[in-house]
Amino acid sequence: MEFLVASSVGIMTAAGVYLLLRGRTFPVVLGLALLSYAINAFLFAMGRLTIHQPPLVSAAASGYTDPLPQALVLTAIVISFGMTAVIVVMALRAFLESGDDDVDLLGERRTRPGQAQ
């Protein structure tokens, strides 16, 4: 099971980095979302699964569930939602200003193959 979780986190991270390096804004937003999912899965996998254990340490409990990974995942979800919203607004504004969704050289007009200068 650990191999499955580790490989899924690695695949999501690789796909997120690949999409972040694309030349259009929509794949960049998708890559950021995939990276945030990979980080959330990694943070959640940091705490091991304990069944029938209390979430807080008490005198009667011999073991406990670590609440820190769940708190970190909740915080990461909120931060990634805010970051995604900001990047979508920035991409929309850049598209409306330049008329193109390329992330390279937004201020300059490039000529495409087959297009007159």
Residue numbers of the domain that contains 10:
2-49+66-98
Q: What 3-state DSSP class applies to 24?
A: strand
Q: How many residues does the chain have?
A: 117
pLDDT of residue 59: 67
Residue 21 domain-assigned (yes or no): yes
pLDDT of residue 82: 92
Spatial CB neighbours of 15, under 8 Å, sequence gap ≥ 6 = 31, 34
Residue 104 domain-assigned (yes or no): no
Parts of the chain with a pLDDT under 70: 49-50, 53-65, 104-117
Residue 107 domain-assigned (yes or no): no
Please state, in angstroms and rounded to a whole number, the distance separating the CA atoms of residues 117 and 110.
9
Name beta bridge partners: 24: 102
pLDDT of residue 86: 92
Which residue, 9, 2, 20, 1, is CA-closest to 103?
A: 20
Q: Looking up tokens 């191999």, which residue turns up? A: 3
